[in-house]
């Protein structure tokens, strides 16, 4: 990547434009991607590397989500030792991955340590880390013509990057049609579409009717209702305990 080849891009452009890869990039993702290459080596600044960094931060965020976390706790001695060894980020990454594996297995101390290490590295913030998850929740029926994946990506990254103008643009755009978005205390995005209460009530009514059809072994009616819900953009999951849960299809 160089000016002479015409493929030069600045950090500001990565954060605030779609010039590279057709999307905005979150600051923590750029930081992690750049640190993955030792400072003595040319940075592997590619779309594949950015996606790799985003995917790994998503995994780290998932395993600490919902845990009782403290801000400002000391990073691990192992992390400090790795960084003191000529900024050995490869070893630091191994330490993060090991903590994530333990946290995923239910180790609360490992979850806190993973968060603290990521916070020390500038990758996590207690009020925003969940925005690094590659996902969102949606309430109500997704309106026709809205690219919900694009909306999610732009709103999420604007929140992480303190991009106020882009957040306001999406706020006005959604509110104009009776929709809105909000973030929870950990930074997870919720898209709420107009008429969501009525829509959810109709979905629940159809699910109840389908459950009755299944109890009566009326499989044709059960399948018909499932197809109707699919046409509404609703995916069902039949649980082992006999209940059915649903979500808006991505």
In a shared domain, residues 74 and 23:
yes
> Beta-strand (E) ranges in 125-220?
137-139, 180-183, 189-192
pLDDT at 26: 96
Domain carrying residue 243: 196-248
Which phi-psi region, left, alpha or beta, contains residue 103 (left: φ > 0; alpha: ψ -120 to 50)?
alpha
Q: Look at residues 157, 174, 192 and tell me which one is the last residue of a structural domain.
A: 192
In a shared domain, residues 125 and 16:
yes
Cα 44 to Cα 33: distance, rounded to the nearest angstrom: 8
In a shared domain, residues 76 and 161:
no
Helix (H, G, I), strand (E, B) or coil at 127: coil
Does residue 18 fall inside a structural domain?
Answer: yes
In a shared domain, residues 119 and 221:
no
Does residue 6 fall inside a structural domain?
Answer: no
In a shared domain, residues 29 and 114:
yes
Q: Look at residues 192, 215, 237 and tell me which one is the last residue of a structural domain.
A: 192
Assign residue 43 the CATH number of its domain.
1.20.120.640
Does residue 19 fall inside a structural domain?
Answer: yes
Does residue 200 fall inside a structural domain?
Answer: yes
pLDDT at 49: 94
- Residue 65 contacts residue 133 (beta carbons within 8 Å): yes
In a shared domain, residues 85 and 19:
yes
Upper half-sphere CA count for residue 79 (Cβ side, 13 Å): 18
Q: What is the pLDDT of residues 4-55, one digit of tens each?
A: 555 678 889 999 888 898 889 999 999 999 999 888 888 777 899 999 999 9
Q: What is the pLDDT of residues 161-200, one digit of tens each?
A: 999 999 999 999 888 877 889 998 899 998 988 765 666 7
Helix axes 47-64, 108-120, angle to 10 degrees: 140
In a shared domain, residues 59 and 100:
yes
Does residue 86 fall inside a structural domain?
Answer: yes
In a shared domain, residues 127 and 19:
yes
pLDDT at 232: 74
Q: Look at residues 106, 131, 156 and tell me which one is the last residue of a structural domain.
A: 131
137 confidence band (pLDDT: 50, 70, 90): confident
The residue written with tokens 């018909």 in the block is 224
In a shared domain, residues 48 and 90:
yes
The β-bridge relationship of strands 180-183 and 189-192 is antiparallel
The Cα diameter of the chain in Å comes to 71
Does residue 1 fall inside a structural domain?
Answer: no
Q: What is the DSSP letter of 125?
A: -
pLDDT at 194: 75
In a shared domain, residues 187 and 219:
no
Q: Considering its fold, how many domains does the chain have in total?
A: 3
């Amino acid at each position: 990547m160089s000016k002479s080849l015409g493929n030069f891009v600045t950090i500001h452009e990565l954060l605030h434009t779609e010039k590279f890869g057709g999307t905005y990039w979150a600051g923590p993702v750029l930081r992690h991607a750049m640190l993955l290459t030792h400072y003595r080596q040319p940075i592997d600044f590619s779309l594949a590397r950015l996606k790799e960094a985003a995917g790994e931060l998503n995994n780290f965020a998932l395993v600490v989500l919902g845990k009782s976390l403290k801000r400002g706790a000391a990073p691990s001695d192992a992390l400090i030792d790795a960084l003191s060894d000529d900024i050995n980020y490869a070893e630091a990454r191994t330490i993060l991955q090991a903590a994530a594996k333990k946290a995923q297995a239910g180790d609360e101390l490992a979850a806190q340590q993973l968060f603290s290490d990521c916070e020390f590295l500038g990758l996590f913030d207690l009020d925003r880390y969940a925005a690094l998850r590659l996902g969102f929740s949606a309430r109500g029926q997704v309106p026709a013509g809205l690219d919900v994946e694009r909306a999610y990506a732009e709103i999420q990254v604007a929140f992480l990057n303190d991009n106020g103008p882009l957040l306001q643009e999406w706020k006005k755009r959604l509110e104009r049609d009776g929709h809105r978005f909000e973030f929870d205390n950990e930074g997870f995005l919720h898209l709420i579409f107009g008429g969501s209460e009525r829509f959810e009530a109709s979905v629940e009514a159809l699910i109840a009717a389908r459950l009755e059809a299944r109890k009566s072994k009326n499989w044709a009616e059960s399948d018909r209702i499932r197809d109707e819900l699919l046409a509404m953009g609703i995916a069902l999951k039949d649980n082992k305990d006999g209940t059915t849960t649903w979500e808006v299809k991505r």
